[in-house]
Amino acid sequence: MGELSGIAIGVTAERRAEEFIGALERYGAEVRHAPTITIVPLDSDPELRAGTESVLASPVGFTVVTTGAGFRGWLAAAEDWGLRDRLVTALGASRIYARGPKAVGAVRGAGLREAYSAASESNAELFGTLAAAGIDGARVAVQLHGTPLPEHTAPLVTAGATLVELQPYRWYSPPDVTPVHDLIDAAVAGELGALTFTSAPAAANFLTLARSYGRYDELLAAMRGPLVCACVGPVTAAPLEAAGVRTVQPERQRLGALVKLLVTTLSTAG
């Protein structure tokens, strides 16, 4: 008998879902998996290739790396196109601003070195620091992760920068939303002990799909009640918090830490 035996947990992740589910099941949880987004393969993404070629067409003075997975995926796609070495050289000639340890690890894994890393691991600190770094007239390559961040990138333009936005891992709604509807039904019916989220787009699209399903208000009521809404970090939690849903987050933004938080929270509550 594990600490999570008899507890049903909803998992909305697509990427690294098997790893996450396996960890929860080892503690005895009953996992209900319903990915709320689907990911576009990087090497077949014409927008990412066009952005990469734009970076190579003229020097960039600054590079923003928001996620380790996104940066590694971008370089992997560039390798498939035969552009990786040129891209690494181009980025290495710029000042690299990384959001946190995962982004720093990806940058260093490519043989590069960051000029700055946000201590809070937040986009607000990352982009705010860059906007104040004297970027007037500079070209800035911005590696996003799934969705645009206009609230953070607009101040860079205001500060005089020209942006080249790269969006590895663009996301869309899954082709079959039935599993998501089933998860929403389970949450509303009080069948779940927790809902988990590992990316902001997954959290945001969960709410969007609930609205189109006609159960948005009921779902919010459930998520604001005893149901535990666990997010891997504050960026992921933002769409839920904006909707008035309180979340729990581990101190370290890692899947393993999220699993341990769920064990502690749910076993104590039980």
One DSSP character per residue, 205-252 reads: HHHHHHHHHT-HHHHHHHHTTT-EEEESSHHHHHHHHHTT---B--SS
> What digits encode the pLDDT tens for the residues 159-216?
999 999 998 877 789 999 999 999 999 999 999 999 999 988 899 999 999 999 999 9
Tell which CATH classification among 3.40.50.620, 3.40.50.10090, 2.60.120.330, 3.40.309.10 matches the domain 42-166: 3.40.50.10090
The model's pTM: 0.68
Buried b (16+ CB within 10 A) or exposed e, 40-58: bebeebeebbebbeebbee
HSE-CB of 56 using CA atoms within 13 angstroms? 16
Question: Residue 145: what pLDDT?
Answer: 77
Residue pointed to by tokens 């594990």:
2
Question: Residue 146: what pLDDT?
Answer: 66
**Bridge partner list, 143:** 65, 166
Tokens standing for residue 161? 């920068």
Question: Residue 269: what pLDDT?
Answer: 60
Question: Residue 43: what pLDDT?
Answer: 67
Q: Report whether 213 contacts 248 (CB < 8 A).
A: no
Q: Which segments in the chain show pLDDT lower than 70?
A: 1, 41-43, 146, 268-270
What is the CATH architecture of 8-39+173-269? 3-Layer(aba) Sandwich (3.40)
Domain with CATH 3.40.50.10090 in the chain: 8-39+173-269, 42-166
Measured between alpha carbons, how far is 41 from 128 in angstroms, rounded to an integer?
Answer: 31
